[in-house]
Structure 1
Amino acid sequence: MSDTDFETTQIEAAVFRRLRDHLLQERPEVQNIDLMILAGFCRNCLADWYREAAEHRGITMTRDEARESVYGEPFAQWKAKHQREATPEQLAAFETAQRLHKS
């Protein structure tokens, strides 16, 4: 790996940590379903991508382990503190967004 590749990886890692921290610490009130509706990904997607990247490097990781790496605590604890039940409006918007993303 060249110095440039190493620096790029370090910068990308820092950006990921900043995004993760922003979503978890600065904006925990933003619901995962709202992220999915607007951006097409959520915190759980980040955990899935984290696990996939680990597996690509030969590191076996469960879904729960990946979520804890992203959420900073077991997902069930974070969910109990911050996640609300989706409203009928959110569910309808999610379904619409899913159809648009698949088109």
Structure 2
Amino acid sequence: MKKLTEAEQTAFEAAAFRRLVAHLRERTDVQNIDLMNLAGFCRNCLSNWYGDAAREAGVALTKDETREIVYGMPYEDWKRLHQTEASDSQKAAFEKNTPHG
């Protein structure tokens, strides 16, 4: 495997993140609960991780700001436009797969 420079690795990771975010913005039919049940993370997780990275770099971003970065719009707008009520089976799977501690 080719050894990447740190700059290349960072650039490629950033490009992959941007592509993932763009994909999730297009796939509004995929609900966060589906992502959580299948992959263990969702759009909100991505926005939280973004905020964590910003804080580690000394940049304070609010939860609303990081969610808007990931969703491409204010979170409340996205929920109103795209979020559906979770089914009983989705809720049951979420409860089964979510660690409670």
Q: Where in structure 1 are there 5+ consecutive unaligned residues? A: none
Q: Percent identity?
A: 56
Please tell me the residue identity of whatever aligns with 2:22.
D
Q: 3-state DSSP class of the match of 1:61?
A: coil
Q: Deviations over 1:58-100 (max 9, x none)?
A: 000110010011111100111111110111111001111115x
TM-score, normalised relative to structure 1? 0.90
Structure 1 runs of 4+ aligned residues shifted over 3 Å read none
**Match of residue 4 from structure 1:** 5
Q: Where in structure 2 are there 5+ consecutive unaligned residues? A: none
**Match of residue 18 from structure 2:** 17
**Match of residue 47 from structure 1:** 47
Q: 3-state DSSP class of the match of 1:45?
A: helix
Please tell me the residue identity of whatever aligns with 2:20.
L
Q: Take 1:83 and 1:73, find their aligned partners in 2: how far apart are those partners?
A: 13
Paired residue total = 97
**Match of residue 65 from structure 1:** 65
Q: Take 2:39 and 2:48, find their aligned partners in 1: how far apart are those partners?
A: 16
Higher helix content, 1 or 2: 1
Please report the RMSD computed on the Cα atoms of aligned residues, expressed in angstroms.
Answer: 1.3
TM-score, normalised relative to structure 2? 0.91
